[in-house]
């Protein structure tokens, strides 16, 4: 176990009837990091998070949050939660939702501080039931952070948010991490992971199939994308070794290659007038697709 570990699943298995949701899963969340948990639908993300939150008990393996069982109230007093499928009390106003959630914690922020931190002051007196989907997510975020959590679980936090609200939430998350808060993020928005995550775990079939920094996950895919304007014919480039695909025309050629450096050298040798050369690594989404596809196959 890492010395800065704040939450851990060790060899956790969980079955629902005959369906294996988690199959000896190991996960570790470290202090002051944003840890993203990715995986296709049914990979076991929700089950893993619900066990870390103390909502479910594992069939086998161990779970600890701040060295305790998440069933213990003292462990959960360090935890903030934003779930995806939840409806807060429709009749309560935003400031009342925060006041109620804050009452569960020993040293929470004041309601005014939470409203300012999460940029929800304009929503203060609005009944939750009359908020838009994005405003409801902002309120749920405010509820999640009101207790000064040391560990924050966020499930699809930016669904329904406009670009400005999303940027605002990202900034708050960066600030929380800088202050030592650990965040566990589950999302389908991979650009969110690329922008925020310190570490990533990719789950499939109840196991971790890859983990590391975003760059390390991207490195699972060796192919790169090359863009250029050239006089070399598309058919010729397509015949070179390592070239997987060529799209466009010589004026705007897009090459995907497993040995980009060799292809670039060959392009420069063949065309001294080559212009607008651009080499791009595979994105996280490509790496994610490839990793999960390999596992499913």
Is residue 15 within 8 Å of residue 31, measured between CB atoms? no
Is residue 257 part of the contact set for other proteins (CB under 8 A)? no
- Assigned token pair, 115: 């409203």
Is residue 109 part of the contact set for other proteins (CB under 8 A)? yes
Is residue 125 part of the contact set for other proteins (CB under 8 A)? no
Q: What is the C-alpha to C-alpha distance for residues 49 and 153, in angstroms, rounded to an integer?
A: 8
x/- string (CB under 8 A) for other proteins, residues 60-99?
-------------xx-xxxxxx-x-xxxxx-xx---x--x
Residues of this chain, 183-242, that bind other proteins according to CB under 8 A: none
Q: What is the C-alpha to C-alpha distance for residues 192 and 68, in angstroms, rounded to an integer?
A: 30
Nearest to 26 by CA among 65, 61, 76, 55: 61
Per CB under 8 A, the segment of 144-152, 184-192, 213-221, 237-245 that binds other proteins is 144-152
Is residue 57 part of the contact set for other proteins (CB under 8 A)? yes
- DSSP track, 157-171: TTTT--HHHHHHHHH
Strands (E), the chain: 5-16, 19-30, 34-38, 60-65, 79-82, 151-155, 182-186, 199-204, 207-212, 224-229, 243-247, 253-257, 275-281
Q: How far is CA 122 from the centre of its chain?
A: 28
Q: Which residue has the tokens 């939702």?
A: 97
| Residue placing its CB nearer to other proteins in the complex, 56 or 166 | 56
- DSSP track, 5-57: EEEEEEEEEEEETTEEEEEEEEEEEETT-EEEEE--TTSSHHHHHHHHTTSS-
Is residue 15 part of the contact set for other proteins (CB under 8 A)? no
Identify the residue among 62, 67, 112, 231 touching other proteins (CB under 8 A). Answer: 112
Per CB under 8 A, the segment of 113-121, 189-197, 256-264, 285-293 that binds other proteins is 113-121
| Residue placing its CB nearer to other proteins in the complex, 89 or 276 | 89
Residues of this chain, 145-164, that bind other proteins according to CB under 8 A: 145, 147-148, 150, 153
Identify the residue among 62, 132, 171, 179 touching other proteins (CB under 8 A). Answer: 179
Identify the residue among 38, 53, 190, 255 touching other proteins (CB under 8 A). Answer: 53
Identify the residue among 5, 10, 20, 55 touching other proteins (CB under 8 A). Answer: 55
Identify the residue among 107, 163, 164, 297 touching other proteins (CB under 8 A). Answer: 107
Interface with other proteins (CB under 8 A): 53-55, 57, 73-74, 76-81, 83, 85-89, 91-92, 96, 99-101, 103-107, 109, 112-113, 116-117, 145, 147-148, 150, 153, 176, 179-181
């Amino acid at each position: 176990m890492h010395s800065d570990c704040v939450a851990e699943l060790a060899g956790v298995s969980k079955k629902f009837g005959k369906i294996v949701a988690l199959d000896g899963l190991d996960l570790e969340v470290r202090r002051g990091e944003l840890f993203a948990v990715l995986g296709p639908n049914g990979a076991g993300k929700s089950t893993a998070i619900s066990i870390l939150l103390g909502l479910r008990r594992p069939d086998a393996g161990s779970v600890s949050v701040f060295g305790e069982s998440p069933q213990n109230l003292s462990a959960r007093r360090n935890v903030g939660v934003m779930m995806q499928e939840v409806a807060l009390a429709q009749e309560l106003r935003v400031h009342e939702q925060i006041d109620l959630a804050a009452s569960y914690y020993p040293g929470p922020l004041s309601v005014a501080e939470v409203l300012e931190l999460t940029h929800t002051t304009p929503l203060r007196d609005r009944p939750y039931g009359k908020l838009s989907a994005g405003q409801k997510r902002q309120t749920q975020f405010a509820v999640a952070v009101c207790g000064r959590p040391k560990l924050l679980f966020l499930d699809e936090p930016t669904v329904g948010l406009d670009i400005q609200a999303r940027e605002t939430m990202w900034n708050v998350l960066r600030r929380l991490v800088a202050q030592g808060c650990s965040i566990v993020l589950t999302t389908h928005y991979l650009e969110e992971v690329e922008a925020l995550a310190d570490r990533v775990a990719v789950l499939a079939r109840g196991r971790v199939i890859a983990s590391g920094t975003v760059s390390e996950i991207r490195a699972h895919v060796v192919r790169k994308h090359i863009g250029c304007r050239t006089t070399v014919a598309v058919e010729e480039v397509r015949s070179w070794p390592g070239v997987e695909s060529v799209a466009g025309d010589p004026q705007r050629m897009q090459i995907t290659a497993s040995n980009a450096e060799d292809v670039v050298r060959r392009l420069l040798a063949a065309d001294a007038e080559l212009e607008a050369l651009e080499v791009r690594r595979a994105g996280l989404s490509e790496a994610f697709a490839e990793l999960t596809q390999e596992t499913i196959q």
